[in-house]
A and B are shown apart, each in its own frame.
Chain A
Amino acid sequence: MKSVINALKSRETLLALAIFLLVLLVSSRYPAFSSVESLSGIFNDTSILMILTLGQMLVILTKCIDLSVAANLALTGMVVAMINNIAPGIPVIVLLLFAILLGALLGAINGYLVWKLDIPPIVVTLGTMTIFRGLIFVISDGKWINAHEMSASFTAFPRYEILGLPMLSWIAILVILLFIPLVNRTALGRAFFAVGCNPMAAVYTGINIGRTRFMTFVISGALAGLAGYLWVSRYAVAYVDIAGGFELDVVAACVIGGISIAGGVGSIGGAILGALFLGVIKNALPVVDISPFWQLAISGSAIILAVALNTLSAQQKGRVILKTAGQGA
């Protein structure tokens, strides 16, 4: 047991070290990069990616994948922006809750199709990804919702600062804090690992695999909905293509964070570090003055390097998650 924990620790330590080295490297070219202000800016910029990565982590843990997160984000964002445009009086907190609910509903569609119709998740979510994007076009008629069509409080919310950190960062922190007990302390949380690690054994312990997967899609969808509002208000614009291709960033963050695509292996810390690693690269590239073509090659190599480090550190493949048989049931 101890060795397992150690392996885990080293996996995350290695990634944290890689991030630290990356920050040092960039700072050698651009010193202000490692200032507290700049680092908190990177955290803030990565908040949305972290939120989505946590949701995706649960889905991947159960051997599934959710490619519709970015489209879900864009659709929810557009709906919320349109509501705000028509009825600016509705308080932001109501819109925020609505976005989470709508996102969860969209996620539930994925979950239901995977659970009840037993369609492979990659097919389901590829389908809903296109459907959601199409729906945005249908409801918006291809038009943009622009900064001046949003209410002041709508765009101000994620920028509102508490103790020097913007609300956007606080929301990411809140999601992380909610995830820790969910994943580590609840039966459902342990079921995610059980389903991905050994589905057969999970069934024998009384876990409903379909329902567990359904739950991961609902949670991932709810977080995508939350991110939808945050995205639209942060960039003060909503249109069909927002966050285009962002689902790949989310999956990449998971992979970098050591979450096994085969399911059953992963941790909250890994997911957060994976997202932060990508966030640091994304924020570093604009300040180190290099050709855009090299930038693509560099970010690709950095991802492969991070994954290689992970694989090296994860010498022990497969581990027993359920400490006692009774816990998962």
Chain B
Amino acid sequence: MSILKKTLVKRLLLTTAVSAALMMNAAQAENKRIALVVKGLGIGFFEAAVKGAEEAAKEIGDVEIIYTGPTDTTAEGQIEVINSLIAQKVDAIAISANDKDAVVPALKKAMKRGITVISWDSGVAIEGRQFHLNPSSNPLIGNMIIKLAADDLPEGGDVAILSAGATSTNQNTWIAEMNKVKDHYPNINIVSTVYGDDLSDKSYREAQGLMKSHPNLKAIISPTSVGIVAAAQAVTDAGKVGEINVTGLGLPSEMAGHIASGASKSFAIWNPIDLGYAATTIAYNLATGATAEAGGSIAMGRMGEVEVNDDLEGAMADPFIYNSSNIDDFKYIF
């Protein structure tokens, strides 16, 4: 009997404590509560983005970050999460969507309740959000990949491109954007574009072929994560580390070994920390009066300002450059 009573009392006390805490939260609710909804929990890239979000929260002051997402990377899971965030009456939702259309109805409901909704990284269809933040843009990426090659080649030289498939849209767009700006890098002579189809063995063979048919080759640009790794390995195996630099777009976790060996001096990809930071500041600014309209711009703290295009999208910045000085900080993140 007494034991039962004790537990009852305990439970009562606990409940009171919890509701008191909840009330206190409500009392402090002048804080803007921004929910960062990610594709799935436990993914290094998003864990890093949250670091950036926390940084932004600290900088702004009256912001509370709610980091959430489904345990599996499904749209259904995200819809559940969004519904619970609506019930919690958060101030803003910043989502990286698993499906650009499936989450629209839930997000529309959120916006109807006065919640600011933006998407970042992986976008939502235009009717389901107020703004979408791309990590970068095609022109910025196109410029970056040739700039990376040029930066390590002050005296210039022959450079070749190892792409994925000949019909792969994003690769072709980036290469086309690169060709538009190649006159800014007059010393860089693009000799060939080959296609590794995002297969390790074919990319490796194509890289070998490039080295054979262009004896003066100084750099290989590969804007694909499979290609850049295969090319770096091919250069290492050919004993041409230091002679030929492999660069392009890759992931720090996959490129760490090739940065250490010197086969690749630098490569680029978005910085998830900056992305989380920018998404948070934009969500905060939109929740506190700023508007996202075509032709306008939104402030994003230390990242400057983002310009809003006709589709209510914007590009954060140049891809971030990874090299031997920072690779170790990022190789366990993504």
| Residues of A near any B CB (own CB < 8 A) | 30, 32, 38, 41, 45, 144, 146-149, 159, 231, 235-237, 242-246, 282-283, 285-287, 289, 291-293
Contact = CB atoms under 8 A, between A and B. Distances in A.
B233 A144 contact: no
Interface string B74-110: 0000000000000000000000000000000000000
What 10 A-B pairs come out closest when comparing CB atoms? A286-B209, A148-B257, A147-B257, A292-B166, A235-B200, A292-B195, A148-B256, A287-B209, A286-B206, A146-B254
Interface in B108-143: none
B201 A235 contact: yes
A45 B237 CA distance: 12
Contacts of A235: 200-201, 204, 230, 233
B208 A286 contact: yes
Interface string B33-75: 0000000000000000000000000000000000000000000
Contact of A30 (B200, B201, B213): B213
Contacts of A287: 209, 212-213
B253 interface: yes
Contacts of A291: 166
A158 B232 CA distance: 17
A14 B189 CA distance: 43
B260 A148 contact: yes
Nearest to A245: B199
Contacts of A159: 237
B201 A243 contact: yes
A189 B59 CA distance: 74
Interface in B205-227: 205-206, 208-210, 212-213
A38 B194 CA distance: 20
B229 interface: yes
B32 interface: no
B229 A147 contact: yes
Interface in B176-199: 192, 194-195, 199
B166 A293 contact: yes
Nearest to B232: A147
B199 A146 contact: no
B208 A237 contact: no
Contact of B254 (A144, A243, A244, A282): A144
Contacts, number: 71
15 contacts: A146-B229, A146-B255, A147-B257, A148-B257, A148-B258, A159-B237, A235-B201, A236-B257, A237-B200, A286-B194, A286-B205, A286-B212, A286-B213, A292-B194, A293-B166
Given A146-B229, A235-B230, 4 more contacts: A146-B253, A242-B200, A285-B209, A287-B213
A283 B256 CA distance: 28
Greatest chain A CB density within 10 A among B166, B201, B237 is at B201
Contacts of B253: 144, 146
A148 to B, nearest CB: 3
Contact of B199 (A30, A38, A244, A292): A244
A121 to B, nearest CB: 26
A45 B234 CA distance: 12
B267 to A, nearest CB: 13
Contacts of A32: 212
B304 to A, nearest CB: 33
Given A45-B205, A144-B254, A146-B256, A38 B212 contact: yes
Interface string B254-279: 11111011000000000000000000
Contacts of B261: 147
B233 A237 contact: yes
Contacts of A244: 199
Interface string B230-258: 10110001000000000000000111111
Contacts of B213: 30, 286-287, 289
Contacts of A237: 200, 229-230, 233, 254
B126 to A, nearest CB: 30
B246 to A, nearest CB: 12
Contacts of A289: 192, 213
B245 to A, nearest CB: 17
Contacts of B260: 148
Contacts of B258: 147-148
Nearest to A235: B200
B194 to A, nearest CB: 6
A149 B260 CA distance: 12
Contacts of B194: 286, 292
A289 B209 CA distance: 10
Contacts of A236: 229, 233, 257
A146 B263 CA distance: 14
A291 B254 CA distance: 30
A49 to B, nearest CB: 9
Contacts of B209: 283, 285-287
Greatest chain B CB density within 10 A among A147, A243, A287 is at A147
B205 A282 contact: yes
A292 B193 CA distance: 10
A293 B193 CA distance: 13
